[in-house]
Amino acid sequence: GQSLEQPSEVTAVEGAIVQINCTYQTSGFYGLSWYQQHDGGAPTFLSYNALDGLEETGRFSSFLSRSDSYGYLLLQELQMKDSASYFCAVRPISGNTPLVFGKGTRLSVIA
């Protein structure tokens, strides 16, 4: 099976950098995804790491280390609009189940 652990809440200051960690236990997976969800809104895809290393998309970067069973999402130059919940998710290799999500990290950006 798969389980993913994330901090439940993180608070950071506008303009700063924040890192949201995701540790996982899985029997095998294709890649690690990150999604953003504003209150009452749809989860929105941010990034996907199929291989170890850093993927950068604008102010957001995501990292994966399979040997450490660990990944993170890095948000730079934080803006108030970045206040949202962030979910990591894995694509299991076994079976047909698509994405398995973590419980999410609620990020609050303060002035």
Partner 1 sequence: GAGVSQTPSNKVTEKGKYVELRCDPISGHTALYWYRQSLGQGPEFLIYFQGTGAADDSGLPNDRFFAVRPEGSVSTLKIQRTERGDSAVYLCASSTRGKTGELFFGEGSRLTVL
List of residues contacting partner 1 (CB under 8 A): 30-33, 40-45, 48, 50, 87, 89, 91, 95-104
Nearer Cβ to partner 1 (75/102) = 102
Tokens standing for 8?
């439940």
In the complex, least distance from residue 106 CB atom to partner 1, rounded to whole angstroms: 8
In the complex, least distance from residue 85 CB atom to partner 1, rounded to whole angstroms: 9
CA-CA distance, 85 to 111, in Å (whole number)?
18
Nearer Cβ to partner 1 (15/30) = 30
- DSSP designation for 52: S
In the complex, least distance from residue 9 CB atom to partner 1, rounded to whole angstroms: 10
